[in-house]
Amino acid sequence: MKIILNGTEEVCPGHESLTDLLNRKETATDRLVIEQNGLIVPRDEWARVQVRSGDTIEVIRLVGGG
């Protein structure tokens, strides 16, 4: 299936949760926000929310600064 991940088209395996996607991309999960199709997904739902063909997913890393 195809998704848009951070503005880039990507082919993903089927039946993958947001947590699975992060693990496959070897992305550390601390200080992240995930937006799926324009809606922020709460962290406690990442393992239950499935990635679907055609999804637009933005993975945003929060950075502190001053």
Q: What is the pLDDT of residues 1-11, one digit of tens each?
A: 999 999 999 99
Q: What is the pLDDT of residues 15-42, one digit of tens each?
A: 899 999 999 999 888 899 999 999 999 9
Q: Report the distance separating Cα 47 and Cα 51, nearest Å.
A: 10
Dihedrals φ, ψ of 13, to 5°?
-70, 155
**Strand, coil or helix: 55:** coil
Record the pTM.
0.90
pLDDT of residue 64: 84
pLDDT of residue 27: 87
